[in-house]
Structure 1
Amino acid sequence: MNKIVVVTGAGAGVGRATADEFARAGYDVVLLSRDPDRLEKAAIYARRQGVRALAIPTDVADAAAVEAAADKAERELGPIDVWVNVAMATIFSPVAKLTPEEVERGTQVTYLGQVHGMMSALKRMRKRDRGVIVNVGSALAYRSVPLQSVYCGAKAAIRGFTDSLRSEIIHDKLNVRVTMVDLPAVNTPQFDWALNKMGRRAQPVPPIYEPEVPARAIRFAAENKRRNVWVGYPTVQAILGNRIAPGLLDRYLAKAGYSGQLTDEEKPDDAPVNLFKPVKGDYDAHGRFDGRSKSRSVQMFTERHRLAFWSAAGLLAAAGLYHLARREGCPGRKP
């Protein structure tokens, strides 16, 4: 019997790429998102991989809807083995131009949506004493940027909630694992449909990765014991850089954080907005930046194979030291 995975935000972007990745790996997939047409398209793709797929239109900001989706998933497919929280919403705007309603909605989707997923998954997994919850975070959970305060705040909150849950699971001696995958800039449709008050089209800050890169990292995190997985060197740099020199980054981002997130193109007056209602259309995993995006991450390769990588690095270092010692001459060595 195949393992069963639930993926939120599965209609487009990283969520869609993640659902595809698990389906290709032989998991039965439960797809949660708001737009039923895109969900069914993702389900058709999964079924072509020879697995079962269940599309459940769901707004993750609604706790009752998430709980009902979890019930339906287990009733129709069986016990949930993996729950992946991907759904998110962002807004490109300075704080001075935000409304309370926009902040509330962005927080409900991005933060509470993951909380609702964790609670529904944990409720079922703790009864069986098994399962994995994967929360999708961001480098921006550690190092906020201007113009995305709602998203950055929500991702930081997810990190805090996740850490609390981890400690509780350890205390209760449960065989349930919680892991977090932190992402870099990814080529998804969010840059075309996010609420944008800046007058220019939004873009991910380069280097940009194709959504299949985080999708592979998410499956890796589900199948391997890792507390956190950082995807891409920009994520590592942002997290470690903020630990070392946060004030310097404040000033740098005050200069570069605006232009780096905006293109020179004017935003169309009729640009779609998905914050309060799903945007119709034939969107899938990728956005409009395929020509500028990377399909691989060297850092993720070393993360996936870190034992072999560090073993090889250690052997190379030892060999280098040995040859250096031979060249320089070791104490006690015969001439």
Structure 2
Amino acid sequence: MLEGKVVVVTGASGGVGRAVVRLLGEKGAKVALVARGETGLATAATEVGTLGGTAKVYPADVADHEQVEAAADSVERDLGPIDIWINVAFSSVFARFQDIEPEEFERTTAVTYLGYVWGTRAALRRMRPRGRGVIVQTGSALAYRGIPLQSAYCGAKHAIKGFTESVRTELLDEGSDIKVTMVHLPALNTPQFDWVLSRLRKHPQPVPPIYQPEVAARAIVYAAEHPSRREYWVGGSTVGTILGERLIPGLLDRYLGAFGVKSQLTDEKPSGVSNLWSPADEDTDYGAHGEFDAEAKTRSPQVWLSQHRNHLLAAGAGGIAAAAVAALGRRR
């Protein structure tokens, strides 16, 4: 379904983006890898080619709309018309709000929010004349529920959700066949926790349950292939966060106030690495995984249910879905 398709992935050099481009390679896509870290990009491009796809590297800072536009022009010149644009790139700061400098908050917003805006803009400028295309926004459970120590990131993810909904409704008003969908992710075992700027006294960690980036990649690529749904949710923690925020937000505030900070800290010292202003993988390839392989799950019932939703509904899904959740929940 994706063989020969031109797919742009931002944040392609590491973490979820790295896992996404590997899977696109397996599916025979023509993959445009956009990120800042040239060592990570080069290794990712080699992996895509080895797996059966075609890859070309486009170093760019997604916070700069001119760089994003230039990359998009180069992609269409080198690989052909862009069929799919997947926004993944982000940066952040682990710190209490009052400990984040204004320029750091601004930079996080520019990368994590405006990077999606500029990517979406570049994609639509090229897709609209053709009347087709798919845009996938990598969202988060934190687009629904802010947590302590991540105010800049949470604010950006909330903004992406509102922005995407606005763009989607404009396209519907135009009668456009361009599809825009979001995939909301849970806590993931990526290099994020090694290279995000931290002002904490201990090394940060994902809030359990933790999933491997390949779980997210499968959901994102599936959404690219089946973009008619407005949102996909990955992981039980994501679903629980969204439902909890809708039903009992006050209780969640109190719970996170009591346990939210502790749940994000390990006993180790911070890495001292930061990719806020310059790429962490300029000279070092971090790959897709972080340091939490032992705790991370390799399967998500929500992804399986999303992919089999129509079959389950047709079959009277109650018993089948319960069995699927139970079976997949036992697997890691």
Could you state the TM-score of these two structures normalised by the residue count of structure 2? 0.93
2:291 match: 288
- Is contact 2:43–2:285 with CA below 8 Å preserved after alignment? no
Counterparts of 2:140 and 2:18 in 1: how far apart (Å)? Answer: 17
Deviations 1:249-274 (CA, angstroms, capped at 9, x unpaired) = 11100111100111122225xx1111
Counterparts of 2:58 and 2:169 in 1: how far apart (Å)? Answer: 31
2:7 match: 5
Counterparts of 1:84 and 1:314 in 2: how far apart (Å)? Answer: 31
Deviation of 1:309 after TM superposition, in Å, equals 2.2
1:262 aligns with 2:268: no
Counterparts of 2:148 and 2:230 in 1: how far apart (Å)? Answer: 28
Mapping 1:272-287, distance limit 5 Å: 272-279=273-280, 280-287=283-290
| Letter in structure 1 aligned against 2:146 | S
| Letter in structure 1 aligned against 2:208 | P
| Letter in structure 1 aligned against 2:148 | P
Deviation of 1:46 after TM superposition, in Å, equals 0.9
Counterparts of 2:196 and 2:318 in 1: how far apart (Å)? Answer: 48
1:23 to 22, 25, 30: 25
Bigger Rg, which one: 1
1:84 aligns with 2:81: no
Deviations 1:3-60 (CA, angstroms, capped at 9, x unpaired) = 1100000000001001111111111100000011110111111111232211011100
Mapping 1:61-80, distance limit 5 Å: 61-80=63-82
Could you state the TM-score of these two structures normalised by the residue count of structure 1? 0.92
1:122 to 117, 121, 124: 124
Counterparts of 1:205 and 1:46 in 2: how far apart (Å)? Answer: 30
2:307 to 304, 320, 323: 304
Counterparts of 2:288 and 2:269 in 1: how far apart (Å)? Answer: 24
| Letter in structure 2 aligned against 1:252 | Y
1:213 match: 215
Distance 1:23 1:242, change over 3 A: same
Mapping 1:5-154, distance limit 5 Å: 5-154=7-156
- Number of corresponding residues: 315
1:247 to 246, 250, 255: 250
Residue 22 of structure 1 aligns to a residue in which SS?
Answer: helix
Deviations 1:226-285 (CA, angstroms, capped at 9, x unpaired) = 1100101110000010001111111100111100111122225xx111101111312000
Counterparts of 1:3 and 1:193 in 2: how far apart (Å)? Answer: 32
| Letter in structure 1 aligned against 2:278 | K
Deviation of 1:315 after TM superposition, in Å, equals 7.6
Deviation of 1:303 after TM superposition, in Å, equals 1.0
Counterparts of 1:256 and 1:154 in 2: how far apart (Å)? Answer: 23
2:157 match: 155
Counterparts of 2:317 and 2:15 in 1: how far apart (Å)? Answer: 38
Residue 263 of structure 1 aligns to a residue in which SS?
Answer: coil
Listed as ranges, the gaps of 5+ residues in structure 1 are: 318-335
* Cα root mean square deviation, aligned: 1.2
Residue 118 of structure 2 aligns to a residue in which SS?
Answer: helix
Moved more, 24-33 or 274-283: 274-283
Residue 267 of structure 2 aligns to a residue in which SS?
Answer: strand
Residue 291 of structure 1 aligns to a residue in which SS?
Answer: coil
| Letter in structure 2 aligned against 1:180 | M
1:328 match: none
What percent of counterpart residues are identical?
53
